[in-house]
Structure 1
Amino acid sequence: MGNDKTNMIVAIALSLVVLLGWNYFVAAPRVEAQKQTAAQNQAATQSPGVAPDGIPSPSPKEGGPAAPVPGTVPATAAGPVSREEALARSARIRIETPALSGSIALKGGRIDDVSLKNYHETVSDESPRIVLFSPTGTATPYYAEFGWVGADAGPLPNGETVWKADSEVLAPGKPVTLTWDNGKGLLFKRLLAVDDKFMFTVRDEVENKGSGAVTLYPYGLVSRWGKPHTQGYYVLHEGMIGALGGDGLQEYTYDALAKEPVFGGPATKGKAWNGVTGGFVGITDKYWAAAAIPAQDVPYTGSFTERTDGATKVYQASVRADARTVEPGATVSSTQNLFAGAKEVNTINNYERDLGIKKFDLMIDWGWFYFITKPMFRALDFFYHLLGNFGVSILVVTFCLKLLFLPIANRSYVSMAKMKAVQPEMTSIRERYKDDKMKQQQAMMELYKKEKINPVAGCWPVLVQIPVFFALYKVLFITIEMRHAPFFGWIQDLAAPDPTSVLNLFGLLPFAAPDFVHLGIWPLVMGVTMFVQMKMNPAPPDPVQAQIFTFMPIIFTFMLGSFPAGLVIYWAWNNTLSVIQQYIIMRRNGVKVELWDNLKGTFKRGSDKNAAAKS
């Protein structure tokens, strides 16, 4: 097959890879609304208030009685109330840290009111802060709960238990102790501590003042009422997540959990992992997460469950450790952690290292190609801390990648330059063997071998760029560090599309352009750089191939219009560097640069067509 047709096929294939990849991983299913709408409104009509089921009960082989689920609180017949009213139903311990604000209910002892101080709903610091946890009684309760389950142990702390606290404020270095006496010989204590980021430490103690031994099972859980709004992208996991000992990473979407077998009751479905050691279980959003973290050296049972409460789905991630026998006069304890906050990469990594939480870094969805995405983030983060701007960091990392792949690109462009130098001989071969394709191909291969030309060398720069492109897209999409990260001018969020649009003359006309034809300034810049890069090479002799190369920049311009601005900036800058590199190599090899002739030819053909149309 001739070189022109080979290049055409490769170009079509690469275009299909990018187009299909974009449609499969990004475009479908797009969700325009950024806030919870219909799903939350439907959940708001329900009556949350009952504590969720789903704490795994000990199996008979564990040698203990079946452990009941945590105690429940009565449902509120009047329906959901405002957040303020729900918070006022219980005396509370205030949470004050550099990163968090909120409170802990003394009634139930749940951590059910957490907001993130440093994160807002929009790029404006005046917009509302991100609210992570909400108490029962609201439209969408979301909270963490710790305690004990057991049979024949007398009353145990539950959602109705009113604890006594020795302080009104929980802050870094200022722990709070809760106490409750069940009146049947058991004294319960809970020591709560928090660091300056997003990690709580919960130490539960039981002192047996009675005359008989009791058996209890410590548990921890994160519970969420109502299916939340999700982005709906294949490249992003949202839902139940956990690293469960030797079973490794486990991820279940909200819909996938509903397909699991019945678990613990007719209204509950789920999945459990028994006898695992190390790891965590939790619920993750794109940028935020909550996770119950058991002691890393103690076996436990981890589970994900979905329970139906009326028309509301209750999702729960829980851990339950093995039995603890409390002899008369003895005290037993259980220490667990709770992560509730933003999935900051360095913070997550520090917790994994300092607290020994196994595979905690998997809380961030690096994907199957983590060996590319994680180094990509590290490089961007390094230059960000050096230069103070993630957009500039993208430019610098792109330049460094160009240097890294310089040998490959140089060989590619040198081969392309040689190919242009032998164009007259290639044309002669085509004319000589125009009726014998086999001999034509053999002659071409002999020419390539003689001149040491690789006919597909021109594809290597594009092939190298594709995995870098998707890795950068993944980093921009999943890492909270890129959220609301500004560049310069009108780009105030590198993780969002360019907000300008050509349809309203980039904001000069007083109307918003529809999303499906969104085309900003940076996508246009990218399209121009891609067009120039295409024109660096001779015009293909095949008219069909020429049309493909002509329309490719237009297709990519519209396709990237809805991509994160940081990705479009990368592509435009990479195209610019490629043009400069190719120009220098061509001149060094004594090959004519076709750019200016091709540009003149393009505009000349356009003017000729216009003249013909007018005549």
Structure 2
Amino acid sequence: MENSRNIIFVVVLSMALLLGWDAAMNYFYPQPDEPVVAAEAATTPVEGGEVVHSRTGGLTDPAAIAQEVADLDTALTSGNRVAIDSPKVAGSINLVGAVVDDLVLKDYAETTDEDSGPVRLYSPRGTPAQHFAQYGFLVNGQKVPDETVWNADGEVLSVGTPVTLTHDAGNGLELQLRYSIDENYMISVEQSIANRSGVPIVAQPYGLVSRTSDTASADFFIAHSGPIGVFGDSANYDFDYSDLDDDGPANPEGRAEWLGFTDIYWLSALVPQDGAAPEATFRALGNDTYRADMIYDPVTIPAGRKYTTDSRLYAGAKDSTILDAYEDAGLEKFGLAIDWGWFRWFEKPLLWLLKNLYDLVGNFGVAIIGLTIVVRGVMFPIAQKQFASMAAMKAIQPKMKALQEKYKEDRVKQQQEMQKLFKEEKVNPLAGCLPLLLQIPIFFALYKVLYLAIEMRHRDFLWIDDLSAPDPATILNLFGLLPFTPPSFLAIGVLAVLLGVTMWLTFKLNPSAMDPIQQQVFSIMPWVLMFIMAPFAAGLLLYWVTSNILTLAQQKYLYSKHPQLKAAAEKEKAEKAAAAAKAKG
């Protein structure tokens, strides 16, 4: 009867865990109701006008997508534009307002479809996916109007070919914006104002990035989405879009080294002049639009003088190698645009190893398998010690039972004598836990690497199109043959099943003696984990399945080296089974 109650308790607990996990995933990691019909999803309008954000960001609502395409056709073919063409980005600068509002990333496709276009980062003001940057001036406290049409001295901004925009503001004032671009994603902007009038003027250069949150990626606990920057000596991930709606403008403490908006894979950031301390503000503008501003202190420009400020704009992919290179060149903590968290000292070496393995084998799925082999190889000596310790523990089992019986009325004395026995026999009872404890940071670090690193985006392996996304081959819809999408907690893919099977086999192979309830829990646990892990990145499941297979091979090998361990455990299991059968009889 007691065993039956325990079994019911385990089953109920497992179901609660599954349903609770699904509810948590839907809360933190919601999926759009409609199939993704364009780009890498971000938003789908739902009842009440709310917006659902998916993992990677972009538009998914068919009406918004159609409107975006129509608006782009109108806005980008209307003239008054200077083209941008560099190795990694293409687009244009709108001469009306001198706005950088058209930018696509050449190296990244919107979707995994072969005919997919490039990721669009910037779209003009007023479009459903509006996202743009602007540099300009306040002159005697007045902003140069956005309707101002600037003149350009060139037709294409490219590496080594800067373009200067000029505006005659009247009264002897000439404003200039000189744009240049490097081979990556950094645009430099030299803002100049020449005062040829007969009186001093007061000028304030500024820069801003404005965007809609409708295209934002989900703000997940390991992947910040929203306002970001380095202020003082630390990166700031404290604000999200709802904070700006609820609390008003935010002015982080400390000098702004850079600031802007981030998604899981993309960054748009303003970089002030070296040594300058502009006022930095994040603010909500209403209608799900937001702005990051940097405005320099007022400066008086005497008659006949010219004043110049050098700023920069990063608009592109969060490639850790590129970000770190800018940081090495002096851009403070720019690598922290990727929210690596506390374990970045562990995650970045894993990413480095993964990329180097990819360079060797040419496929990230194979590289993950190789990474697993390397990790398990490094931990193999620890596993050997674990099995040796288990063998020693089995050898002293009779002495332990004798001490438990002798001091069963005095638990403190029993523990003291146990510790003394362990010391005399040179046995560490915790040695078996060490491999598991070491695996935890490795597993979490790999989870973050697969989730955050753009290097993993759209990397395929066998039937998987994107190792950073869940396994698409789910059983309930016959691996995509049936036209429906199972709910997330039932979307069990091939890798999730392999995870459950291989974990069950590792538990079966392990001959450690357990009581019946422990056996029931361990027999259920692999299948509970199968459901829990199914929505995770396919690359993470690939790592775990490979690790389980290596564990099976390792256990076979080590049991062959310690036959007394397996024999003792099997004997104990047989004795317990016989005792249980006798009790039932």
Name the TM-score class by shorter chain.
0.7 to 0.9
Is 1:289 aligned to 2:299, yes or no? no
Match of 2:333 among 349, 354, 359: 359
Residue of structure 2 in register with 1:48 after alignment = none
Aligned match of 1:400: 374
Cα contact 1:26–1:235 (8 A) shared by 2: no
Deviation at 1:428, TM superposition (A): 6.3
| Aligned residue in 2 for 1:313 | 288
Q: Deviation of residue 593 (structure 1)?
A: 3.5
The residue correspondences of 1:553-564 to structure 2 (distance < 5 A) are 553-564=526-537
Give the equivalent residue in structure 2 for 1:526. 499
Q: Which residue of 1 aligns with 2:151?
A: 164
Give the counterpart letter for 1:239 in structure 2: G
CA contact (8 A) 2:511 2:569 kept: no
The answer to whether the 8 Å contact 2:211/2:290 transfers is: yes
Give the CA deviation at 1:156: 5.2
SS of match in other structure, 1:373:
helix
Instruction: Give 1:475 shift.
Output: 0.7
* Conserved 8 A contact 1:142-1:223: yes
The structure-2 alpha-carbon separation of the partners of 1:313 and 1:522, relative to structure 1 and needing over 3 Å to count, comes to: closer
Segments of 5+ residues of structure 1 without an aligned counterpart are 1-14, 45-78, 261-268, 609-615
Deviation at 1:247, TM superposition (A): 5.7
Cα distance in 1 for residues equivalent to 2:23 and 2:302: 59
Q: 1:38 aligns with which of 45, 63, 74?
A: 45
- For 1:31-430, list aligned pairs within 5 A: 31-33=30-32, 34-38=41-45, 82-89=71-78, 91-151=80-140, 157-246=144-233, 248-260=235-247, 269-273=248-252, 276=255, 279-308=257-286, 312-354=287-329, 356-423=330-397
Q: Which moved more, 1:279-288 or 1:550-559?
A: 550-559
In structure 2, the CA distance between the partners of 1:543 and 1:273, relative to structure 1 (3 Å rule), is closer
* 557 and 507 in structure 1: CA distance in 2 versus 1, 3 angstrom threshold: same
- CA pair 147-275 structure 1, distance change in 2 beyond 3 A: farther
Within 5 Å, which residues of 2 pair with 1:592-603? 592-593=565-566
Q: In the alignment, residue 548 of structure 1 is paired with which amino acid?
A: V
Q: Does 1:551 align with 2:540?
A: no
What's the CA shift for 1:337? 0.7
* TM superposition shift of 1:20: 12
Write the letter of the residue equivalent to 2:318.
K
Separation of aligned partners in 2, 1:25 and 1:404: 35
The answer as to 2:446 corresponding to 1:472 is yes
CA distance in 2, matches of 1:252, 1:274: 13
Instruction: Establish whether residue 584 from structure 1 lines up as the match of residue 557 from structure 2.
Output: yes
Shift of 1:144: 0.3
Query: How big is each residue's C-alpha offset from its partner over 1:106-163, in whole Å with a ceiling of 9 and x where there is no partner?
Result: 11000011111222222123123221111123234211010111426xx753311101
Q: Secondary structure of 2:476's match?
A: helix
The 1-side partners of 2:425 and 2:128 are apart by 73
Say which SS state the counterpart of residue 458 (structure 2) adopts: coil
Kindly indicate whether the alpha-carbon contact (under 8 Å) linking 2:18 and 2:489 is maintained by their aligned counterparts in 1: no
**Given residue 75 of structure 2, which amino acid in structure 1 is its aligned partner?**
A
Counterpart amino acid of residue 412 in structure 1: Q
Q: 1:248 to 1:596 in 2, by over 3 A?
A: closer
Give the Å deviation of 1:215: 1.4
Matching residue's letter, 1:585: L
Compared with structure 1, are the counterparts of its residues 30 and 195 closer, same or farther at alpha carbon in structure 2 (3 Å cutoff)?
same
Which of 494, 516, 520 does residue 489 from structure 2 map onto? Answer: 516
Report the Cα offset of residue 581 of structure 1.
Answer: 2.8
Over the matched positions of the two proteins, sequence identity in percent amounts to 38
State the 1:341 CA deviation: 1.0
Say whether 1:567 aligns with 2:540: yes
Query: C-alpha distance in 1, partners of 2:91/2:48?
Result: 24
The alignment's TM-score, normalised by the length of structure 2, stands at 0.83
Aligned to 2:534, the other structure's residue is in SS state helix
Contact 1:483 1:495 in 2 (8 A): yes
Relative to structure 2, which stretch is displaced further, 192-201 or 384-393? 384-393
CA–CA distance in structure 2, aligned partners of residues 466 and 113 of structure 1: 43
Instruction: Call closer, same or farther: CA 1:215–1:592 in 2, change over 3 Å.
Output: same
| 1:195-240 deviation line (CA, Å, top 9, x unaligned) | 2221111111111110011111111110113544432421110000
Structure 2 SS opposite 1:93: strand
Change (3 A) 1:158 1:88: farther
Look up the SS of the partner of 1:405 in the other structure.
helix
Structure 2 letter corresponding to 1:298 = A
Q: CA deviation at 1:373?
A: 1.6
The one-letter code of the counterpart of 1:170 is L
Paired amino acid for 1:416: M
Q: Is the 8 A contact 1:31 1:232 kept in 2?
A: no
1:298–1:510 CA distance, 2 compared to 1 (3 A): closer
Distance 1:351 1:167, change over 3 A: same
Task: Specify the SS of the correspondent of 2:459.
Answer: coil
Q: How far apart are the structure 1 equivalents of 2:46 and 2:19?
A: 30
Preserved CA contact (<8 Å) 1:275 1:300: no
Structure 1 distance, partners of 2:265, 2:47, is 19
How many residues are aligned here?
538
Q: If the length of structure 1 is used for normalisation, what is the TM-score?
A: 0.79
Question: 1:132 & 1:368 partners in 2: Cα distance?
Answer: 29
Amino acid in the other structure paired with 1:345:
S
Conserved 8 A contact 2:137-2:143:
yes
Q: Distance in 1 between matches of 2:410 and 2:518?
A: 19
Contact 1:28 1:233 in 2 (8 A): no
Q: For 2:486 and 2:295, locate their aligned partners in 1 and report how far apart those are by CA, in whole Å.
A: 52
